[in-house]
Amino acid sequence: MNPVLNSGMAPVATPWFFYVLGGLAVASGVAVITRRNAVHAALALIVTLLSVAGLYLMLYAPFVAGVQIIVYAGGIMVLFLFVIMLVNIERSSKERRFNRMWPVGLAAACALMALFVSAIVKGKTVLTDPRTGQALWPDIIAKLPESSNTQQIAGMLYGEAGRMGQYTFAFEIASLLLLVAILGAVIMTKKKI
């Protein structure tokens, strides 16, 4: 199921695009968790989602970038904004932002960050691929052809040429999950069941 690797393509963007998009994603992520007003946090999360979609475009994943913009920034965040406006939280924008145990949470998150950094650094220098003998995290070597990305994802999800795709069963289970979620969300908000 491996797609054809096209090795002669020029890079899609200079490194400055990555630093701008990555910095914007992290900065608006900080804004999400520190804003007092929930609407400001939702708008900062939209900026994060759009910059992550830009990072997907740099990673030769145009379909995932489109799904991110349409579903995440266009669907989920609109849902969040509607709920923020339904739940009248004028009162909460004047209260304390963080709960009383915030040093413990911050320490746990710093421990988690230390774990991630050690895993990334160790994987970069120590672990080697047993097949090729190179470092397991090499530079980006494979250049996926961009023009048929959607067709190949569709082939993996739905199947092609009369066969079932690699992820067709998971796709059907995901649609069942969405049906259950819709039923649950509708029943949860009814006044009389």
Partner 1 sequence: MVPITTFHYLVVAAALFVLGVIGVLTRRNVVIVLMSIELILNAVNLNLVAFSRMWGNLNGQVFSIFVTVDAAAEAAVGLGILIAFFRNRETINVDEIDLLKW
- Of the residues 9, 122, 124, 169, which one makes contact with partner 1 according to CB under 8 A: 124
The DSSP 8-state label assigned to residue 169 in this structure reads H
Determine if 9 is a binding residue for partner 1 (CB under 8 A): no
Q: What minimum distance in Å lies between the beta carbon of 17 and partner 1?
A: 9
Could you give the CA distance from residue 171 to residue 60 in angstroms, rounded to a whole number?
Answer: 23
Adjacent-strand bridge partners of 135 = 128
- Of the residues 10, 126, 161, 188, which one makes contact with partner 1 according to CB under 8 A: 188
| Token code pair at residue 106 | 């911050």
Cα three-residue angle 167-50-67, rounded to 5 degrees: 25
Q: What minimum distance in Å lies between the beta carbon of 106 and partner 1?
A: 6
Of 72, 79, 18, which is closest to residue 46 (Cα–Cα)?
72
Q: Pick out residues in 137-166 that bind partner 1 (CB under 8 A).
A: 137-142, 144, 149, 152-153, 156-157, 166
Could you give the CA distance from residue 65 to residue 154 in angstroms, rounded to a whole number?
Answer: 15
Q: Pick out residues in 54-93 that bind partner 1 (CB under 8 A).
A: 55-56, 58-61, 63-64, 67-68, 71-72, 75-76, 79-80, 83-84, 86-87, 89, 92
Could you give the CA distance from residue 179 to residue 166 in angstroms, rounded to a whole number?
Answer: 22
- Pattern 164-183, partner 1, x by CB under 8 A: --xx--x---x--xx-xxx-
Q: What minimum distance in Å lies between the beta carbon of 59 and partner 1?
A: 5
